[in-house]
Every structure is written in structure tokens, then in C-alpha cells.
Amino acid sequence: MGSPRVLVVEHQESCPPRLVGDWLEEAGCTLAVCRPYAGDDLPTLVSYDAAVVLGGEMSANDDDTVPWLAPLKSGIRDAVAGGTPLLGICLGHQVVAAALGGRVERNARGQIVGLQPVGWTAAAADDVWASARTATETVIHWNNDVVVEMPPESVVLARSPGGEVQAARFGPRAWGIQAHPEADSDVVRRWAESDREDHVALGLDQDEVLAAIESARPALAGHWRPMVQRFAAIAAGAEALR
């Protein structure tokens, strides 16, 4: 089958592909990381075997101030229409939803931070990607915005404890997850430092959150490496289309 070429769109230096990138490479993928914030031109998504769109601090609605968002959304629509496997992570999940006609807003419940259980829906059992789940997953959340209206013909695959869309299928080979399976402790510590003043004001104990994430590191890898490996297999054409 060869080595699937996977485009990774990185929105900012503090939100790298990290663990997801490592697991894709372990599964035989060749990564091309595009950093438009650093001046990289955004390539055509459909020219790759698959694409991963990462997180970032900006909003999925910031087309006027983030110059690559509108072209990325156009590329996402082409990828979904053409069947290019696509995975959006946190902001990436929101960008995919917005590109396809969904709506993204600030979460009325406030920022979600730290480990959360994954509330898989019945639809996940028959999903090509989500069927790799153990059904006992936890995952790191670090987000202010959420998808409040799903695009037409998309399917909710998981909801967070507050009821927010946590994972979704946006097309036969397009998925999004609101959380951060790619983040390790070093990445999360950087986010915590950036948000320290806000969390102090909220009374959130960052040390406790970070300690819990570090303790869960082996379990998180056990939960999400198989999911990323399944996406790599889809990229390689090893999974039958539904």
C-alpha cells in the first residue's frame, strides 16, 4: 500500500501534532506539517492521502483576522466531497464543522479544562473510525468554544459530560474531536502557563489538573494510539468504505 502522505495543518507553535504525529508515523504515514502562521502556503488537501487539522487559540469564526482559515475551509469542503480522510482536533474539529455549514460559539458553560470521560453514542459502534474505541476512553479537554449546531448529514459520535459535541463524523471519511488526544504533559503545561491568570480567577487548581493528566499518560496512550492507527489505516485505504 505504500506510505500514506498526511498533511498536518498546525495553527500555532504551541499546538503541535506531538503524540498524534508520533502515532501516525509509527503506523507508516509520512507527515507534511504546514505552518501557515510561519508563512507556509496552504497546499491543496486533496493532493494528500489524508489531512489532520490541529488546535489553536483563535476562533473557527476568525476568517477576517486569520488569513488561512477561509482557504482551509474551502479545502476541507473539497476533501470531504472527494473522500480524502480528514481528522479535526479541537479548533480543527470546529473549523471542519463551520466549513460544512455548522455553527461554533463560545461554550455557555465556560472553559472546559482537564481530563473528561468520552461519552460515546450508539452511532460510534458502526463508525469506521470510532469502532476502534475501547468505550472507556478519557481525553484532555482545553477549550472555550464548541460546536453548537452540527452541519447537515453529520453524526454525533460522542458527547462530553456537559452534553457538548465531543466527537463527530462530518462525512464518510471525515471526523472531528473536540478534545486533545495529541497533547502530552509538556504541551499542556504551556497552555496552563498561558491561562494561569484566568484559572486563578476561576479558582482552578492547575497543579491538580496537570498532575491528573500526567498520571493518566499511559491510559491516554492506550486509548488513543489505536484510534490514530485506525485513521492511518483509513488513509492507507485499508478500511472498507461504508
Measured CA to CA, the distance from residue 77 to residue 175 in angstroms comes to 13
Residues pairing with 5 in the sheet: 30
- Short-list 52, 50, 77, 145, CA closest to 106: 145
d(CA 88, CA 77): 13
Catalytic (active-site) positions:
90, 180, 182
DSSP 119-186: EE-GGGGG-TTGGG--S--EEEEEESEEEEEPPTT-EEEEE-TTS-EEEEEEETTEEEESS-TT--HH
Q: Rounded to an integer, what distance in angstroms lies between the CA atom of residue 212 and that of residue 205?
A: 11
What gap in Å lies between CA 90 and CA 125, rounded to an integer? 22
Q: Are 176 and 170 within 8 A, CB to CB?
A: yes
CA distances from 53 to 12, 127, 162 (A): 11, 20, 24
Q: Which 8-state DSSP code applies to residue 16?
A: -
Q: Which amino acid is at 7?
A: L
Percentage helix, strand, coil for the chain under 3-state DSSP, each rounded to 5: 40, 25, 40
